């Protein structure tokens, strides 16, 4: 299946390399270095013909653009100029004799001079990459690795609530320090947006202050920074304020890619808020503006289906399933009861992490009549048994492989698992939750408690 989240991230890599692009519009970085070969692999001392390549698919969906290409001489030396549209992180493929030995991620920035040394066959383990931009990015990566370790402990419940807030503040400040100490670099932009994101929901005043500082300095926010600001404005001042914020960011943007992703944000925001007529109108303009970007059109086709058939307030599509207890469950049998229907794989790590939360939601909201239906896709008996070996089955579980998975994926427009729909007692969709969005389900469940 096509996972929407995956190709949205890919858009940044393909959108700006259209056929009409002029080389004079491109940024340049000078790259040089030495790649050698371990004697155990080749004792000849000839290090020639090692290739370094960065290429991306063009927006026509067929041809590819080469951003950088170089070959080593007999001593392993190489040099060349990378030409690219946006300052970003790029994968450099290192190969020889049609064998790929490693992929080095490095920042390309206009005017930067990058130095690389590495040794085959263990390219990634031996690589040393240095430049102004890449040295700062390595600082950012160290902070990121350390924060991720702490985040794992937080997610495992190893910190009290007060300690969690202290940790989040400390790490937000540390990311902000990287931003302030290394301004006007790619890594500083990442760090500033991460600092903003970590403040969401508990220190919103500082979150807004830092976001506005980033906007003032860079005339943009990255997608994670935009997302938390949109949620904040939508919750505190309403949908129109959130849309106004996105319009302001779009007007400031000099990047076509940013304009595209911001317009996606606006369309999804209107869709989630049941303003489907406006969402459809914005979508038509989006399709016209980005008609030359196949992945953008694929996204548009997906959300067009959602707007027409799966928008909040729409009747949930008819279904009929056989449960593991041998009972039949259908749209008709669920009439008069609110429910969550979730489509997932049992081996999905995100679903496994969310399961305890689902149990807690069921135990609380079953008192208000809520039921849950789990529809497992791509599940075999071993996977099923392993999942429930130490977990209770508390709600309706559809018999694995008792339905047409392809037809279900198409009808419910499943682009990522887990996907959940919250449906009210009248059979109307309250909202769809994809992946991590599940943390917002309690807000939707307030519709059930208030109606009861």
With residues binned 3-state (H G I as helix, E B as strand, rest as coil), the percentages for the chain, rounded to 5, are: 50, 20, 30
Tokens standing for 394? 């508390």
Q: Is 120 exposed, middle or buried (0-12, 13-18, 19+ CB in 10 A)?
A: buried
pLDDT at res. 63: 56
Instruction: Give residue 62's pLDDT band: very low, low, confident or very high (50, 70, 90).
Output: low
- 55 vs 48, which has greater pLDDT? 48
Tokens standing for 25? 């519009």
Specify the DSSP element, H or E, that contains 216: helix 204-218
Please state, rounded to an integer, the average pLDDT across all residues of the chain.
Answer: 89
Q: Residues 85-138: pLDDT tens digits? A: 889 999 999 999 999 999 999 999 999 999 999 999 999 999 999 999 999 999
pLDDT at res. 18: 35
CATH 2.60.40.1120 fits 9-130, yes or no: yes
Would you say residue 12 has pLDDT above 60? Answer: no
State in words which class domain 320-451 has.
alpha beta
- Percent of the chain past pLDDT 70, that is, above it, reads 92
Would you say residue 59 has pLDDT above 90? Answer: no
How many residues comprise the chain?
452
Instruction: Show Cβ contacts of residue 229 under 8 Å, excluding neighbours closer than 6 positions.
Output: 196, 207, 208, 211, 221, 245
Question: Which CATH architecture describes the domain 135-309?
Answer: Alpha Horseshoe (1.25)
Would you say residue 23 has pLDDT above 60? Answer: no
Would you say residue 20 has pLDDT above 50? Answer: no
Separation CA 86–CA 432 (nearest Å): 34
According to CATH, where is 2.60.40.1120 located in the chain?
9-130
pLDDT at res. 5: 37
Separation CA 194–CA 192 (nearest Å): 5
According to CATH, where is 3.40.30.10 located in the chain?
320-451
CB contact at 8 A, 179 and 213: no
Q: Where are the alpha helices (DSSP H) in 1-45?
A: 4-14
According to CATH, where is 1.25.40 located in the chain?
135-309
């Amino acid at each position: 299946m096509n996972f929407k989240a995956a190709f949205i991230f890919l858009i940044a890599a393909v959108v700006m390399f259209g056929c009409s692009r002029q080389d004079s519009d491109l940024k340049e970085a000078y790259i040089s270095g030495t790649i050698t070969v371990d004697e155990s692999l080749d004792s000849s001392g000839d290090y020639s013909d090692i290739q370094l390549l960065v290429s991306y698919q063009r927006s026509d969906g067929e041809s590819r653009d080469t951003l950088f290409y170089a070959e080593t001489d007999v001593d392993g030396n190489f040099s060349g100029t990378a030409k690219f549209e946006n300052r970003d992180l790029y994968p450099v493929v290192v190969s020889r004799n049609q064998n790929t030995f490693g992929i080095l991620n490095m920042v390309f920035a206009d005017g930067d001079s990058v130095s690389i040394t590495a040794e085959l066959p263990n390219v990634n383990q031996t690589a040393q990459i240095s430049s102004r931009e890449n040295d700062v990015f390595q600082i950012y990566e160290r902070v990121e690795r350390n924060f991720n370790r702490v985040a794992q402990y937080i997610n495992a419940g190893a910190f009290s609530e007060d300690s969690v807030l202290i940790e989040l503040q400390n790490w937000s400040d540390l990311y902000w320090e990287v931003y302030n100490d290394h301004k006007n670099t790619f890594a500083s932009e990442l760090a500033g947006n991460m600092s903003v994101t970590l403040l969401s929901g508990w220190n919103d005043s500082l979150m807004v202050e830092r976001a506005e500082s980033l906007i003032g300095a860079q005339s943009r926010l990255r997608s994670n920074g935009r997302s938390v600001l949109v949620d904040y404005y939508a919750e505190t001042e309403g949908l129109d304020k959130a849309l106004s914020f996105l319009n302001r960011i779009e007007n400031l943007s000099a990047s076509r890619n940013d304009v595209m992703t911001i317009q996606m944000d606006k369309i999804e925001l209107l869709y989630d808020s049941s303003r489907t007529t406006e969402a459809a109108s914005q979508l038509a303009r989006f399709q016209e503006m980005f008609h030359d970007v196949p992945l953008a059109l694929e996204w548009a086709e997906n959300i067009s289906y959602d707007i027409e058939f799966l928008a909040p307030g729409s009747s949930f599509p008819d279904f009929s399933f056989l449960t593991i207890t041998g009972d039949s469950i259908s749209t008709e049998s669920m009439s008069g009861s609110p429910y969550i229907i979730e489509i997932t794989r049992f081996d999905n790590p995100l679903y496994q992490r969310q399961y305890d939360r689902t149990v807690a939601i069921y135990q609380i909201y079953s008192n208000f009549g809520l039921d849950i239906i789990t529809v497992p896709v791509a599940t075999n008996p071993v996977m099923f048994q392993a999942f429930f070996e130490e977990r209770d089955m508390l709600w309706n579980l559809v018999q694995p492989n008792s339905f047409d998975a392809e037809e279900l994926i198409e009808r419910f427009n499943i682009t990522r698992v887990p996907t959940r729909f919250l449906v009210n007692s009248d059979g109307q969709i309250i909202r769809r939750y994809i992946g991590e969005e599940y943390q917002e389900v309690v807000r939707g469940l307030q519709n059930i408690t208030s109606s009861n």
